Amino acid sequence: MSWTIRVESDANALDVDIYSRVVEVVARIPGELSDDIGRLVRFRRPLSGCDGPAVQAFLEGDEAQVLLARVQDGTGVDTLWSGDRLGTWTEDAFEAACALHSAVEGMAP
């Protein structure tokens, strides 16, 4: 399954949702959390800014796609009896998500 990429020009956060396979570089309220973050279904890190077109091009490029493949290969999501989802991450998948964040953060204006 391929990843959907969404980038906003006024973004201050990187989200990687392993259930929906969505990468978002979007505006979030600082400190905003969701149940998906606590259950490891969503990886969220703050950004100091965003050069929207450069980030979009990077996330669609080969380097980012290799990192996202590592995330996809090293994660899983289980649905509990309550309907809640619980994500699992290998160390390699988490390192790939951190590398993705570092690369996007390095593009801040």
| 34 CB-near residues (< 8 Å, 6+ apart) | 42
**The two structure tokens encoding residue 8:** 């906003």
Looking only at the bridges linking them, the beta strands covering 75-79 and 85-89 are: antiparallel
Helix, strand or coil for residue 4?
A: strand
Cβ of 67: how many Cβ atoms within 10 Å? Answer: 22
On the question of pLDDT at 37 being above 70, the answer is no
Looking only at the bridges linking them, the beta strands covering 22-26 and 4-7 are: parallel
Segment 66-83, tens digit of pLDDT: 999 999 999 999 998 998
Let me know: does 75 contact 89? Beta carbons within 8 Å.
yes
pTM of the entire structure?
A: 0.88
Lowest-pLDDT range, 29-38, 48-57, 69-78, 85-94? 29-38
Helix, strand or coil for residue 3?
A: coil
The more confidently predicted of residues 36 and 26 is 26
Let me know: does 16 contact 72? Beta carbons within 8 Å.
no
Q: What angle do CA 77, 83, 85 make, to 5 degrees?
A: 25
In one-letter notation, the amino acid at residue 23 is V
